[in-house]
Chains A and B, each alone.
Chain A
Amino acid sequence: NAGVTQTPKFRILKIGQSMTLQCAQDMNHNYMYWYRQDPGMGLKLIYYSVGAGITDKGEVPNGYNVSRSTTEDFPLRLELAAPSQTSVYFCASRLQGPPYEQYFGPGTRLTVT
């Protein structure tokens, strides 16, 4: 099993550009999550999904969109990138039920200039 994979690993965007961060998992997990981690800070939840076709907002959803058409994939779309979106983005997945452990991808480091 590859676990949770994220692409790209690094990306530099210009202000106003758009991009999609890819996330895939091969563990048949229903629950998937997108977080951002600003320098020296903890993770903040952007969006999450409890299954294909079902998504919901987290703490910091503004400027982002998600879709979940399959169990495996959960892409995060940034529209009109802004410098405030410079961050490391983590995708995670988990099974339903305890211990509710999230399996994290390696992260995508995004810089908006």
Chain B
Amino acid sequence: AQKITQTQPGMFVQEKEAVTLDCTYDTSDPSYGLFWYKQPSSGEMIFLIYQGSYDQQNATEGRYSLNFQKARKSANLVISASQLGDSAMYFCAMREANKFYFGSGTKLNVKP
């Protein structure tokens, strides 16, 4: 079974609008972590946000927030006030013990 599922291969959003990128995960480990990374066309991996499985509050980092719904095993990324520079691939990832699992990614295009 897939550990991380991202069901949106591509998305468009208008500049200055908010967008939600979906991520569901599968684990039986009670202690795990969830991450979002951004990969621009230049190829580097940029860490955006982290949520621990025991964290009570949703993580936020500037314009990024992680909508963590533990019972539904979802960890959606919300980007507020999209900017042209947000156009990139976005990967959801999960840490289980010392291993990390990545989803197949969502390509976000921000339209002016």
Contact = CB atoms under 8 A, between A and B. Distances in A.
Nearest to A43: B102
Contacts of B102: 35, 42-44
A44 B44 CA distance: 15
Interface in A19-71: 31, 33, 35, 40-45, 48, 50, 56, 58-59
B6 to A, nearest CB: 8
Interface residues of B, number: 21
A36 to B, nearest CB: 11
Nearest to A96: B98
B50 interface: yes
A69 to B, nearest CB: 19
B43 A45 contact: no
B47 A42 contact: no
Contact of A98 (B6, B33, B47): B33
Given A42-B105, A106-B44, A100 B50 contact: yes
A33 B44 contact: no
B50 A98 contact: yes
A43 B24 CA distance: 16
A103 B4 CA distance: 20
A11 B5 CA distance: 31
Contacts of B33: 98-100
B91 A42 contact: yes
Contacts of A48: 98-99
B105 A41 contact: yes
11 contacts: A40-B105, A43-B91, A43-B102, A58-B99, A98-B33, A98-B50, A101-B35, A101-B50, A102-B45, A103-B47, A107-B44
Interface of A: 31, 33, 35, 40-45, 48, 50, 56, 58-59, 88, 90, 92, 98-104, 106-107
Given A44-B102, A45-B99, 11 more contacts: A40-B104, A41-B104, A42-B103, A43-B93, A43-B102, A45-B101, A92-B45, A102-B100, A103-B47, A106-B43, A107-B43
